[in-house]
Amino acid sequence: MKKHIEDLLIALNEDLYEREQAIRLTLLTVLSGQSIFLLGKPGVAKSLIARRIKEVFKDATAFEYLMNRFSTPDEIFGPVAISKLKSDTYERAVKGYLPDADIAFLDEIWKAGPSIQNTLLTIINEKLYRNGSKDIKVPLKGLIAASNELPDQGQGLEALWDRFIVRISVKNIAGQSQFSDYLMNAPQTDFKIDPKLQLSTRDYEMHRKKASQVKVLPHIVDVVLKIKNYINLYNNDAINEHKIYVSDRRWKKIVEILKTSAYLNGRKVIDATDCFLIRHMIWDHPSQENRVLDFVTDATLNHGVAGLSNLADWTSKIERFKNEIVNHTLIYGTIDEVKITEKQIGDYTYYKFENRENESDVIHIRKEDWIALSTTFELFTYYQDGSRDRNYFKKHGKNIIHKKVNNRSENYSSYKLQVHVSQSRGMVKQKPNDVISKNILENHKSLTKEFQKFLKVSNILENKDTFDNLFVSQHLTSMLDHPLSKLKSQTKALEKQLAQIKVDYDKLK
């Protein structure tokens, strides 16, 4: 599915310049069954975008109309059916008009009168049109509206404005090379999409159904709640002239679009990249776009990835289990304290070594030399019977050194580091009785199994290090790479810590 949509986007953007974002958001909106508003001056390809989207669907019908303050319902919804009037039925002949269209484009929508705008409310939201005494199901997949202005305040347009879930500003071509190419290339008058890429109504309905089954995990809800909190703080700031209003209904529609984005990207759950799309669905005035982007970016980076795993909970679980083991293994008893036999000669500390075959043969090696000693012979100064001498030594095992008999021979004498053991009373670690020990091991097994299940469900370690999304710019998605890498490191550390608990426990006597 993802490759199909990717090919569709490439085809839709052919010979268009700096319209990639508008095209992909319009396609996503229509495939979500929602409505989009394009804000822009005349001549920025708003109607062209709508006409191209219509080509996505096989045998689709389209309705396009430029609104003005004299527009009548007859021009939008169809003329009154004269034949029906003879039987005292007031119905419209909707064939070829908006109630019959798969894709509709209404330009300068705010110039329409109240009778048109009120009828649009039900068509957009419920996909129903009241024709006479009957409600008819409209085939509308997406309504694309456009204007070079926002709805006037206090004119009763808030409900209609709220119906347009996605809002995007379309501007003139900014890049010099892009503009040059635009001037030199001949305009494309007969745009068609490869029939293999087109979607039938059946395909559309199937994709809508599968998109509805995409899961919304708790951390995605946290992202939305955080954004809502930012909006509340923004609205409470008296210096902000324009307030942001997002109805509960629109939040629900926003999540539906995120689900569609996840599905079209080949996923069964919404992920952090989808959350970036919220930036196009919550502003009420262009002056808010940068602030809204900050809200969405902050919430997504802090909750969209970290929320994949409640590491704080798992850290607490593992810490509690460690404390449980300590409570059962730490008892008051006799402690054997092993100390190395030392001797101070001048300014240095020397360790005592005794010949393993002759206890009277004692030598002293400087502490620093013993620490630095390797498994190959090296020349060191040592003391024997109060006399200072030099010879070749090497380390052999934990507490053993070998000393060459003479420089010309490979023969050596073996000496052992001398230690003495002192005993005291204190807290010591030892394994508890068999019943408690069995319970500890079973708890560790259960905790490990639960942790592995958590890893599998959250898909943290398997998640690729680089995010991508067909509908979001790489500039935004790449911001998620660092928090994901950090999360993986923390998760691996917890996994290692859980395994080490068992290793340490098994070492206890």
Query: Is residue 6 situated within a structural domain?
Result: yes
CATH code, domain with 113: 3.40.50.300
Quickly list DSSP for 317-335: HHHHHHHHHHHHHEEEEEE
Model-wide pTM > 0.85: no
Structure tokens at 17: 């310049």
Q: Are residues 355 and 500 in the same domain?
A: no
Whether residue 186 is contained in a domain is answered as: yes
DSSP three-state, residue 403: strand
pLDDT in the model for residue 445? 93
Residue 161 and residue 120: Cα distance in Å, rounded? 11
Instruction: Indicate if 6 and 107 belong to the same structural domain.
Output: yes
Q: Are residues 347 and 468 in the same domain?
A: no
Domain boundary among 209, 237, 265: 209
Task: Tell me, yes or no, whether 125 lies in a domain.
Answer: yes
Helix (H), strand (E) counts: the chain: 18, 16
144 in the same domain as 9: yes
Please check whether residue 272 lies inside any domain of the structure.
no
- Are 372 and 489 part of one and the same domain? no
Does residue 479 lie in a domain region? yes
Q: What is the pLDDT of residue 464?
A: 66
Range of the domain at 349: 342-417
Query: Given this model, what pLDDT does residue 177 score?
Result: 84
Q: Where is the domain boundary, 187, 209, 231?
A: 209
Percentages helix, strand, coil for the chain (3-state, rounded to 5) are 45, 20, 35
Q: Is residue 277 part of a domain?
A: no
Please tell me whether residues 393 and 456 are part of one structural domain.
no
Q: What is the pLDDT of residue 34?
A: 94
Strands 330-340 and 419-429: antiparallel
User: What are the φ/ψ torsions at residue 418 (nearest 5 degrees)?
Assistant: -90, 130
Shared domain check, 184 and 81: yes
Give the CA diameter of the chain: 133
371 and 473 part of one domain: no
Tokens of 246: 């997002």
Does 456 lie in the same domain as 353?
no
- Compute mean pLDDT per 10 residues along the chain, 509 residues long, and list them: 88 84 94 94 87 89 91 91 75 90 93 89 90 89 92 83 93 85 76 87 93 91 94 87 90 96 92 94 92 94 74 86 86 75 90 92 93 90 90 90 82 91 73 88 92 77 73 88 82 90 87
Domain end point (choices 393, 417, 441): 417
Judge whether 122 lies within some domain: yes
| Tally of domains within the chain | 3
Residue 196 lies in a domain: yes
Ordered DSSP codes for 276-300: GGGGGSS-SSGGGHHHHHHHHHHHI
Q: Is 441 found in the same domain as 317?
A: yes
pLDDT score of 433: 87
- Whether residues 165 and 203 share a domain: the answer is yes
Q: Which DSSP state fits 303? A: I
- Statement to judge: residues 32 and 85 lie in one domain: yes
